[in-house]
Amino acid sequence: MERIILDIDGAGDDQLAILYAQGCPDILLEGVTCCHGAAGSVEQVTGVALHVLSVAGADHVPVASGAWRPFVGNSAADMEAPVHFEKRLRARFGDRLEGFNRPAPPRAREPLAMHAVDFIIDMVRANPGEISIVATGPQTNVAMALRQAPDIAGKVRQIVVLGGCFRTPGNITPVSEYNIWADPEAAKVVLNSGAPVVLVPLDICEDNRVAPSMMTRDDLADLAAGPQGPVTRFVTETFPIYIDIWREFFGLVGFPLDDAIAVATVPYPHLFGMTPPLHVDVALHERLVRGQTVAHRGRQILHFEGPATTRICEDLDGAAFLAGFKQALVALDQGQGA
């Protein structure tokens, strides 16, 4: 069984990643750490994590709150762009948007008293070679842990980074994806740390070339047709609007399960086509390309230093992944989750 720490920023696909990790028979979810990001403040993200674990019947899983801001950040106007984007969605979808990115409900329990960075360091040091970190938001928590305790780069089993893009256009700039762009300095630390990294870019998540991996209303109907429990009810009631947005606004066939796909790389690497280990770096300057992930694949005249430790996911058996994802949700309602 693969042991993971799931580091999230609390958006819709993060919630599904928690449920998938908890329901997957081949994963032991050791903890959820929370970071600023797509869902807003770290307090909101922490509340979301606690709520989703409660829905899953997993109140025993530790939750630790972490970084509340990026290392450097971007301009105030650019950082506010997602807020204005949600206004555009509201103008288009009206009342249907009420279920999108809801505020976290009152907490049934409190997170750990320790910071997420300390939780990551302590877990990796106590279990060398056993813990995979799956970071599905900005890399701030993971980078801070590597800065504070560089030795964990040699003790972590792997770090899965959800972020970047290569063939698929970026969702922030033409070449930059949100998670990397939100804290590119932190992503640079992680990718240059020497730790073994698996990079899961938009190319295998938010592109119709991997359409079989996306959740559609047909999938929600499949879940609704079976015996209903708290998990399947939560998913079927919460995610229709997510499917509608990604179909009608982004032109995808369904809701892309980016974060759950990142989780799946740990127990099921055979579902993915990956490059050999490469040196991958991050552009930090010039607004147009800030946050771009750059893979060193060929032979260039100029020399760049950096560890060849990152495998990039380039292909995915989407149908097999989605079948396992739905099975994990049903398993939680049947009391068979990890």
265 or 79: which leads in pLDDT: 265
Is pLDDT at 99 greater than 80 in this prediction? Answer: no
* Statement: the pTM of the whole predicted model exceeds 0.85: yes
Q: DSSP assignment of 162-214, as one string?
A: E---SSSPPSSBTTB-HHHHHSHHHHHHHHTSSS-EEEE-GGGTSSGGGGGGS
Supply the pLDDT for residue 337.
Answer: 59
d(CA 32, CA 135): 10
Sign of CA dihedral 308, 290, 249, 234: positive
The pairing of beta strand 272-274 with beta strand 310-316: antiparallel
> What confidence tens digit (pLDDT) does each residue in 304-332 have?
999 999 999 999 999 999 999 999 999 99
Report the range of poorest mean pLDDT among 79-83, 168-172, 238-242.
79-83
Which pLDDT band holds residue 210 (cuts at 50, 70, 90)? very high
Mean pLDDT for 143-153 is: 98
pLDDT of residue 208: 96
Q: Name the residue with tokens 């409190």.
A: 110
pLDDT at 86: 74
CA distance 338 to 334: 11
pLDDT band at residue 173 using 50, 70 and 90 as cut-offs: very high
3-state SS, residue 310: strand
Q: How confident is the model at residue 83 (pLDDT cuts 50, 70, 90)?
A: low
pLDDT tens readout for residues 14-52:
999 999 999 999 999 999 999 998 878 999 999 999 999
pLDDT of 49 reads 96
pLDDT grade, residue 338 (50/70/90)?
low
Query: What are the pLDDT digits (tens) for 265-298?
Result: 999 999 999 999 999 999 999 999 999 999 999 8
Mean pLDDT of the chain, nearest integer: 94
pLDDT of residue 336: 62
Q: How confident is the model at residue 183 (pLDDT cuts 50, 70, 90)?
A: very high
Q: Which domains occur in the chain, in start order?
A: 2-333 (3.90.245.10)
- Residue 42 has what pLDDT? 94
